[in-house]
Every structure is written in C-alpha cells, then in structure tokens.
Amino acid sequence: MNAVPADFTAASLQAGSPSPLGATWTGDGVNFAVCAGGASRVELCLFDENGERELARLPLPERTENCWHGFLPAPHGIPGVVYGFRVHGPYDPSYGLRHNPHKLLLDPYARALVGKFEWNPAVFGHQPDQPTEQLNTADSAPYVYKARVVQSGFAWSEDCPPAVPWRDTVIYELHVKGFTKLHPAVPERERGKFLGLAQPAVVNYLKQLGVTAVQLLPVQAFVPEQFLAERGLTNYWGYSSLAWFAPHPEYGIEDPVAEFRTMVKTLHAAGIEVILDVVFNHTVEGNEKGPTLSLRGLDNAAYYKLDSNNLSRYVDRTGTGNTIAIGNAAARKLIIDCLRYWVEEMHVDGFRFDLAAVLGRDNAPFRTDAAFFKAVAAEPTLRYVKLIAEPWDVGPEGYQLGRFPAGWSEWNDLYRDSVRGFWRGNPGILGNFAERFAGSSDLFRASGRRPTASINYIACHDGFTAYDATAYEQKHNEANLEDNHDGHNHNLSWNCGVEGPSDDPAVIELRERQIRNLLATLLLSQGVPMLLAGDEFGRTQRGNNNAYCQDNEISWLDWHDAERRGWLTAFVRQLLTLRRYAAGLRRDTFLKGARQVDREHKDISWRHPEGHELTAADWHDANARAIGVLIGHAFTDPYGTPNGHLLFLCNAGDQPVNFRLPTPTTGVVWRIVFDTARWRVSDLGDRMGAGESCVVAPHSCVLLADGDAPSSVRSGFSLKT
C-alpha cells in the first residue's frame, strides 16, 4: 500500500471522467466519480490514513448528467488515499429529498473500508427522536466508515475457475467467521477470517468431504442495526449491508481485499468454487428513521422505493425498513457493476441473491422478464457464473418459487418441507416427497428448465440445523432477547420424544438415524444439493432457529462435535462419493418414468412394499409412511452405456416394513449399500434376489444396488471415519 500524503493543502482537482464510477487509480492519479442526482455540490473529503482526521474538502469540479467527477493527480492521488463525500442539496423529505452535507457519505463503489462504525446521534440526517423533517447538523464523520483507494493488481498467476457443471455441483453453505472461529488447526490470528478458510486443514476437509462449492453468508461490508447494538448483540449473519463492493473489514487481518483473493485462489486450486450470498434488496440505512450513511444522502429517490402517497416514507418489501429501487437505472447499474467487479476482480464463481423476488419487481409486480434479469443476461461477465435466487420477499405475492428466468437456480423450500415432513411422519405426503426427490418437475419443467434449477436443502442458515430438527419441536430463541417471538414456527421438526438434549440411548440413536435419513434423501435426490456447514457432524444451535444475532458458540462450529461424530461425517463423505459415481443421480433432464429399449426397468418407478408400482389409491393413502424408489440406469459402464440400478427404501413409520424386491438386472442379487438403522454393524453382508423381502426398520432407509453397479458401491459403506 502506498503512503498517504500527510498534507493535502496543495491538492487540487482536475475535471476527470464520469466513468468508471468510484475511485480509480490510473497510474498518474485517482479519478473520483459518484452519482448524486439533485445535488447542488459534491465535496470530496480526504482523511489521514486511519480515517480519523479530515484533512481537506475539494468540490468535484465537473458534472455529467447525474454524475459528479474530478481527478486528483499524484502525488496526492495515489492508492491508499482515504476519502468520503459530502453532498449539498435540498433537504425536504416530503419530496423524497434527503441531502445533508453534515453527513459524510460512503462511496457506493468503495473497494475497502477504513475506521469503524459507531451508532451515534450524529449519523442520522434528521434530529433523532424528532420529526424527520428537522435537519441534523451534527458532523457524522467521526463515527462512520471511510473508503480507501485500492490498487487492483493481485498475483492471480494460474488461477482458473473450477467451472463445475451444475449437475455435478454440491454446495456447502458456511459463515466465514463461524466456520473457523473454533477450528483447532487454524492459527489463532486467522480464525474467523478469510485466511482461515485458506488454511490447508480447512481446504482438505472440504475437498475430502466432497463438496464442490462453498456458499459464503454475506461478506459485503455490513454494520449491525441500532436495536441490536443497544442490546449488546450484532448482525452476525451480515444481512445489513453498507458497502456492496467491499469485503467485510472484520473478516480481514491487514488487507481484506488481498486476503479475500488469497482465499478464493486457494479454494480454486482445490477445485472448489466460491459463491457469495449477496444482499441487493435493502441496506442498513433502513426506513425514514434510519441513518444517512451512503445512498440516502447521495440520491434517496433514485436508490430506494418511496411510498408514492407519502415520499417521506419507504416501501418495505424486505422486512428491514427499505427496498432498493431496482426499477431505476442508477440502482440497476450499481448492482450490475458490483457483480461484474466480484467476478472480474475477485474471481468469484456465483451469487445467491437474498430476497431475490425484489429484483424482479421493477415498479410493478414480479416479472420473469424484469429489467434486472435482462441486464444480467446481457452482461458477458455473468454469462457463465452460477446465479441462485432466494425466490421470495415479504411483499404482496412475494413467493415466486419456479418463476425465475432460464439460467437461474432457486432455493427450493418445498423440498425442505416435504422431506422433513415425510421423515417426521406427516400424513398424505407421499406425492410431495416423490415430486421433490425426482427434481421438482412441477416447478421447473414447464418453463424449459432442468432439475438443476432446484437447489435442494434440508437445512440452511435460517431455521433449525439438521440435528435440531431431530431434537426440538419448538424454537428456543430466548438468547435473541425478543421474548422468543422472532423466528418462524413452521419447523416441521420432531424431537424424537424429548425436547432438547437427552442422555437416553434410545433417543440418541433415533436422532442419529433421523439425521442419516435426512442426509441420505438429500444426497440421493435429483437437483443440486446444498449442505449447511456442520450438518455432516450433527451441529446444534441449541434450538435457536433464528441465530442471526448470535456471534458466539451458538453459531460457531464446534469441531469437537466433528471428532465425536466422525461416523456421520464418513456417511456424508461416502454418500457424496456415491453421487459422483452414479450419473443417474445427477441428471440434466427430468425423469419420465419411461422404459428404455432393452432395459428391464424404467428410469424411475415408485414401489409399494408389496412389490408393485404405486397406484392412484396408494398415492392418496393418508396412512402410508413407506415408499420405495427404483432408480434405473444409475451408473454407466466404461463405454458410457447406462446400466445398474439403485433401490431406495424409506420407512417413516413406527413399525418395520417388509419390502418385496423387484427383479435385479442380469439376474444378479441385490446388495445393501447402507441401512440407517444398522449403521453400527460392521458388515451388513446382505444379498437378496428377486421376490425376496428386505426388512426396513422403523424410521429408517435402506439403499440397495444390483449386480451391474460398480463393485465399490455394492460392497457397502465403510464405518471407517
């Protein structure tokens, strides 16, 4: 990093260029450009290297339409310069205007942040606890982040995106801090940091587990909401964004930008993609009572949806107080530029869009052909990255699962609910379970999309972990200090007879079995599986299903659990190995229940315990708790010819079920690959022929392979950890 000049008294600005936006080092100076429609003057404010003292205010000399710009030549304009903006203009909230030069504004294009944020009355554009029409003239600069000019160079050398096809993708959702904060093999200094994820022990763990992509909870710079700070809590998850281009400072040690790039490069070398959970639906500035930190002071009406009946109020389709005005060109450009930056400069491989229904709303109801989706499709940089939608928001008609454009995949919460509901024994759910297991064609086929449009999961950051779904029937969010009113009540969980921790061996064994059932179903289903970090060893959040504000042991992964439950991690690892072997579990097209020429069985068929395919009456039997899935053409021989079958037998009831087995191919016997009720048996050794029965214990599932399956599959899962 270049040394920042201590004296800016001789500094002056030249005209500069309106493009690119932000602060750009050109080799002989820094070009500053910022959009501020409605402003009468914009000042560039320069600070010392720590962002503590304001050293100069230089009016940007030129305006091109809504863009203000100026060029600061070297030696004053160099990488490392710390800056912010002050915007002069009308302050009239009744017209949606909130300019206030007493508020230091963060550049929306800031690549790196300096200093810290403090909730002080000075950060509000209006007088706190007074009507919002009253201007607050206190200077906010001592209490807010500043931006630092960044030089774009980095030694990427041979970095190459893994470019894993969707059909082969296994996503692992993790929190940068929580994943390594307690990891014993990570040096203390790097725990909870970007560099912690680049440690060899961490990378090897991910690679050996078999995941192909890490999906990081928000790493765009964020600050906790005021109500959390007042309670001594924080926004641990990070869904309170402030600066979309800047890596969160607390995840860095000395240089978060370089350290993020190092993390990406290291994961890429191991064949692991990096997907970012991005928050483009709202910001931490909140509603009309919130602070003025960046977009609000630059051009409030251009960046936020305002209530057309009262322009001093905000439209809230996010539950956070404000909503980004994606229908406005300025907001869309900011987001597209940001996505391009993270791909081109930071080498990320994809994005998961939080509350993505907001992005399809323009100024009207949700549309598949909304302007933002068209802009993404038209951007060459984004053509080959993974795009994942959380397909809902909290506005009217906010649930849009299955309606996103071609090229997008979507979080499928119906998958989670159907699988959890089946394994807890809900009545009348066989049809839903089968539809989700087979790839959710009812949601995606009609629009010409593929099974890989469905991101399947049984647990994510929001809600119960997989273990907690077997240990709690009620949420226990008391630590959030909201009287346990926060978080949803639709958990579809079953505590196996005891609420919370238990020393009863029978309860413990049943919970372990249920976790195996859930994970086995997830990793054998069509679509793209997503694992929540720690579910592979039974991580718990102590029944908290909304741990967004818990930056502590409730949320951090306990790696002692990984040691204690190594058998479960081994089970997941072997499931993922099986998934790689079995091309029939990773299809690009939907299953049709059709019989191929010269094949004994269909590509998929649904089996009654008595051996026949399910009839209409069977599907509507509310008392049915058992189903068999015969997956045809699960493997391919060395010549690429489909062969081999898998038979997945599920019993969610409380009594054993005898499943009569179909005829295996080539007359060779069926072999048990795993049985979740007999996991501690060292050698299953079961071989069964056509017409024989396989006993499936209560609350368990069994996977069998026939003679054409690879020998490594037919030999069954090992107990070795």
Catalytic positions are 354, 390
Q: Which 8-state DSSP code applies to residue 28? A: S
User: Tokens 């936006």 correspond to what residue?
Assistant: 21
With 0-12 / 13-18 / 19 or more C-beta atoms within 10 angstroms meaning exposed / middle / buried, residue 253 is middle
Q: Do the Cβ atoms of 389 and 356 come closer than 8 Å?
A: yes
Distance from chain centroid for Cα 560: 25
Measured N-to-C along each axis, helices 295-303 and 329-344 cross at an angle, to the nearest 10 degrees, of 120
- CA distance linking residue 21 with residue 243, whole number of Å: 14
User: What is the sign, positive or negative, of the torsion defined by CA atoms of 554, 214, 456, 640?
Assistant: negative
How many angstroms separate the CA atoms of 5 and 54, rounded? 13
Tokens standing for residue 621 = 């039997």
| DSSP labels, 685-719 | --EE-TT-EEEE-TTEEEEEE-TTS-HHHHT----
Give the integer Cα–Cα distance in Å for 283 and 304.
9
Q: Which tokens belong to 518? A: 């859930």
Would you give the distance in Å from CA 536 to the centre of its chain? 18
* Composition of the chain by helix, strand, coil, percent to 5: 25, 20, 50
Tokens of 25: 């080092």
- Note if the bond before 131 is cis, omega within 30 degrees: no
Sole residue written with tokens 């009946």? 309
Say if residue 69 is exposed, middle or buried (CB neighbours under 10 Å; 0-12, 13-18, 19+): buried
Tokens of 129: 């606890």
Match 């659990």 to its residue by tokens.
561
Whether the upstream peptide bond of residue 20 has omega within 30° of 0, thus cis, is yes
Three-class DSSP category at 385: coil
